[in-house]
Amino acid sequence: MTRSYAEFRRGWAVLIASSLGVAFGASPIPYNSLGPFTRPITEELGWGRGEFQLAILWYTVAVVCVVPIVGALADRFGVRRMALLTLGLFGLAFAALSLTPASIMVFYVLWFIAGFAGGGSTPVTWTRAINGWFVENRGLALAITLLGTGITAAFLPTLTIWLIERFGWRWAFVGISLLPLAVALPIAIAWFRDPPSSSAATHGSQPGPRAEGGVTLGEAVRNYRFWVLILSILLVATGIGGTITNLVPLLEDRGFAALDAGKIAGAVGVSIMVGRVFAGFMMDRFWAPGVVFPMLVLPAIACLLLMNHGIGAGTAILAAVLVGFASGAETDLVAYLSARYFGLKHYGRIYGAQYAVFGFASGIAPPLFGFVHDRTGSYDAILVTAAVAFGVGALLLLTMGRYPVFEAQAAPQA
């Protein structure tokens, strides 16, 4: 109990800075603001929903390209400098979206730049530090760090709609960019630090070089668990990403006012936080795939609820809660299982590769949902497909087997 408390006493500032970095970085802000931007921009510029939401795919392609590079650089040079640099670049690039002209291709280019510039501010960077600062409470610490995505999902849809209605969609991009630039970045500069050495983690001394046990990326890709996790992420993240980003326009199609739809979408963020803490607490005590299996089945029920064209507010909130609860567990799980099954030796590279798949799925899902809507006039067909994906993705995790045990390597001598 004393050592557990000591971990939080030593690493609380890094934990807060990491959570805010995740909250206002390149992962949650685009995906939770995309839905509210959909109707205002498409109606003004004459684009289809699928055409508009295809921008997030170009953004994701850029993130997928840069995340493994950033992960490798963080493993080699430390996470602090990568986190600070890319968080600032992301804020500036997101603000530049306010300059979008009537050209859809320029719109795609601006999103690609935002993803490439800010890809290092995804959870890959922040969780690399947390995995080093916390050992006994790693699951709970990761959950607290990744609470940031839930915080953002809880308020950003409503904030985005309010900014659009008050100042227009162009200034809304600028206003949102202040979250990374004026909130997360100053706190990260003050509090975010590279992880301590193994001896420092045990005895509370000052940080130093760290040598971790685990496998290399090459060894990981030859392990079936790596590919099981990849496929599970692909299926579940596609369903969650498409449902969350299209929830606001879907509810508007069901007759909800824009602001009411944004408030209902905010329930996703609240349940993400609950699911995240619950999953993190339980994964520290029980086998992680078994813990999250039932949680990842819940959004399949949500998809069926959302197919009701006469859905009421209470049922819509329940659907949002079910999706958010699963989303909270899923993101934690990728970071947790990357560390438990492959170790920390090449954590940045391995989790970077896993997160790239997560990002790709999250990027392809919004336009996929949008194009199905444009072609059929409804989200029903894609909701059925997503429900099946949730079930299969959850089942795959049960094949992961026991956690391997890694021996920490001796630190290199000066």
> Could you report the per-residue pLDDT of 379-399, keeping only the tens digit for each?
999 999 999 999 999 899 899
3-class state of residue 214 by DSSP: strand
* pLDDT of the residue at 207: 44
In a domain, 298, yes or no: yes
Mean pLDDT of 84-107: 94
**pLDDT for residue 127 is more than 50:** yes
Percent of the chain at pLDDT exceeding 70? 93
In a domain, 65, yes or no: yes
Q: Looking at 100-109, 126-135, 220-229, 331-340, which range is the least confident one?
A: 331-340
Contacts of 370 (CB under 8 A, 6+ apart): 38, 48, 49, 50, 51, 52, 53, 54, 246
Name the more confident of 292 and 179. 179
**pLDDT for residue 327 is more than 50:** yes
In a domain, 207, yes or no: no
CB atoms within 10 A of CB 2: 6
* pLDDT of the residue at 331: 66
* pLDDT of the residue at 73: 80
* pLDDT of the residue at 197: 61
Q: In this structure, what are the phi and psi dihedrals at residue 174, rounded to the nearest 5 degrees?
A: -65, -45
In a domain, 126, yes or no: yes
CB atoms within 10 A of CB 208: 13
* pLDDT of the residue at 164: 94
Query: What is the rounded distance in angstroms from the CA atom of residue 9 to the CA atom of residue 4?
Result: 9
Could you tell me which of 397, 399, 371 has the C-alpha nearest to residue 385?
371
DSSP state of 22: H
Query: What is the rounded distance in angstroms from the CA atom of residue 26 to the CA atom of residue 125?
Result: 11
Q: Say if CB 159 and CB 167 are below 8 A apart.
A: no
Integer CA distances (angstroms), 65 to 38, 62, 109, in order? 26, 5, 15
Query: What is the rounded distance in angstroms from the CA atom of residue 31 to the CA atom of residue 41?
Result: 16
* pLDDT of the residue at 162: 94
Residue 212's pLDDT band (cuts 50, 70, 90): low
* pLDDT of the residue at 408: 55
**pLDDT for residue 239 is more than 80:** yes
Residue 4's pLDDT band (cuts 50, 70, 90): low
Q: Any idea what the CATH number is for the domain that residue 240 is in? A: 1.20.1250.20
Mean pLDDT of 367-372: 88
Could you tell me which of 126, 34, 134 has the C-alpha nearest to residue 331?
126
3-class state of residue 343 by DSSP: strand
CB atoms within 10 A of CB 290: 13
* pLDDT of the residue at 213: 72
3-class state of residue 107 by DSSP: helix
Q: What amino acid is encoded at 150 in this protein?
A: G
In a domain, 411, yes or no: no
DSSP state of 401: -
Q: Which bin fits 256, alpha (ψ -120 to 50), beta or left (φ > 0)?
A: beta
* pLDDT of the residue at 407: 65
Which residues lie across from 343 on neighbouring strands?
214
Percent of the chain at pLDDT exceeding 90? 33
**pLDDT for residue 318 is more than 90:** yes
* pLDDT of the residue at 198: 47
Name the more confident of 232 and 354. 232
Mean pLDDT estimate for the chain: 84
DSSP state of 398: T
Residue 414's pLDDT band (cuts 50, 70, 90): very low
Domain that holds residue 176: 10-195+214-397
Name the more confident of 166 and 270. 166
In a domain, 267, yes or no: yes
What is the CB-side half-sphere exposure of residue 359 using CA atoms within 13 A? 30
Number of domain units in the chain = 1
Could you tell me which of 85, 114, 64 has the C-alpha nearest to residue 358?
64
**pLDDT for residue 410 is more than 50:** no
Which tokens belong to 61?
Answer: 């392609």
Q: What is the DSSP string of 288-325?
A: HHHHHHHHHHHHHHHHHHHT-TT--HHHHHHHHHHHHH
Contacts of 351 (CB under 8 A, 6+ apart): 71, 124, 127, 128, 334, 335, 338, 339
In a domain, 201, yes or no: no
Query: What is the rounded distance in angstroms from the CA atom of residue 238 to the CA atom of residue 360?
Result: 8
Helices (H), 307-379: 313-342, 347-376
Which residues lie across from 214 on neighbouring strands?
343
* pLDDT of the residue at 317: 93
Q: Say if CB 54 and CB 108 are below 8 A apart.
A: yes
